[in-house]
Amino acid sequence: MSLTVEHVFINLSGKEIVRDVSLQVTQGSFVGLIGPNGSGKSTLLRAVYKVLPPKKGNILLDGRDVVQANPKVIATSMAVVGQFNDLEFDFTVIEMVMMGRNPHKSMLEGDSSRDFEIAESALRQVDLLDYAHRSFLSLSGGERQRVILARAIAQQPKLLVLDEPTNHLDIKFQIHMLSVVKALGVGVLAALHDLELAAEYCDYLYVLNHGQVVADGEPAAVLTKGLIEKVYGVHCEPYVNPVTGGFAVAYLR
């Protein structure tokens, strides 16, 4: 399952937020989208998961036009962990996760024991199996985020779209969440804030600034001093982490 975004333009209330963006997520690869606040990451992702129609350009999931396709068909192969997890009505955790089975069900079809197994295994993967019968609204922000990830896993997607999934999470669960996602082995398109985590988990990075892709490539090639300083407007010094041997960056004042 591969996602192709071709020359996409998106306007929000008359303003051009995303300009001529093209990117690709190939089968099973973990692709990161980085860039400062307001660079258009979320807007681009919202177009990918059918909430915003792009003004121009194509979004194709295995050659199928995402914008025109039936949402139910798309939802069987693409799942989303977004930033819209506010509820007015309470559900239990297991009820929330079971909603991930919806796209695989016809209207009158009941939930089978297989569906419950899938939901429970998803909860186990995010370490929340004990919370199955807790109320969703009684959970902390980070726990809610993990429930939403479990719901996305229960959808059994081939592509996972994550919009700043590690917001609200402490460092343990940031690492936990990205590791869980990586272990799924499905294609991932994730908007991320933390450059070190992005470098560690992503196979490929796209850097967005003012709605345009300003750089792309493997993390080591993209995350240079010049690019970070230009895009984020901070002084910094990237270095090789002496403990892990991975990418690290020190921000200077």
Partner 1 sequence: MRVFAAREKGEAAPSAGKILIPVLAALLALNMVSLIIAVSVGQVAIPASLSYRILLHKLMGITVGDPAALTSGTFMNIVWDIRLPRVLTSMLVGAGLAVCGVIMQASVKNPLADPYILGVSSGASLGATFAILIGFGTSSLLSQVGVSVGAFAGALIASLGVLTLAELSGRATSVKLVLAGMVINALCNAFSNFIVYFASNSEGIKSVTFWLMGSLASAKWNKLPMMAIVVSAALLFSLPQSRILNTMLVGDEAAVTLGVKLSSFRRGYLIVSALVTGVIVSYCGMIGFVGLIVPHIVRGFTGSDHRKVIPVSIGVGSLFLVWADVIARIVIPKSEVPIGIITAMIGAPVFIYMLVKRGYGFGKE
Residue number with CB closer to partner 1 (136 or 204): 136
- Smallest CA-to-CA distance from 199 within 247, 148, 166, 151 is with 247
Total residues at the site for partner 1 (CB under 8 A)?
39
Q: Token pair 């036009």 is at which residue?
A: 65
Measured distance CA(33)–CA(45) in Å, rounded: 9
Measured distance CA(25)–CA(157) in Å, rounded: 14
Residue number with CB closer to partner 1 (52 or 202): 52
Among 12, 38, 99, 117, binds partner 1 (CB under 8 A): 99
Q: Token pair 């997607």 is at which residue?
A: 157
Residue number with CB closer to partner 1 (54 or 219): 54
Is residue 87 part of the contact set for partner 1 (CB under 8 A)? yes
Cβ within 8 Å of residue 241, ≥6 positions away: 196, 247, 248
Find the shortest distance in angstroms from Cβ 99 to partner 1. 6
Find the shortest distance in angstroms from Cβ 77 to partner 1. 10
Distance (Å) of CA 220 to CA 183, 205, 238, 249: 22, 9, 10, 12
Token code pair at residue 233: 């407007």
Find the shortest distance in angstroms from Cβ 148 to partner 1. 8
Is residue 90 part of the contact set for partner 1 (CB under 8 A)? yes
Q: What are phi and psi of 79, to 5 degrees?
A: -120, 155
Among 108, 183, 243, 250, binds partner 1 (CB under 8 A): 108
Is residue 76 part of the contact set for partner 1 (CB under 8 A)? yes
Residue number with CB closer to partner 1 (94 or 178): 94
Residue number with CB closer to partner 1 (95 or 203): 95
Is residue 86 part of the contact set for partner 1 (CB under 8 A)? yes
Is residue 105 part of the contact set for partner 1 (CB under 8 A)? yes
Is residue 103 part of the contact set for partner 1 (CB under 8 A)? yes
Is residue 82 part of the contact set for partner 1 (CB under 8 A)? yes
Is residue 130 part of the contact set for partner 1 (CB under 8 A)? no
Find the shortest distance in angstroms from Cβ 43 to partner 1. 13
Residues that bind partner 1 (CB under 8 A): 46, 49-51, 71-76, 78-80, 82, 84-92, 94-96, 99-100, 102-103, 105, 107-108, 132-135, 138, 155
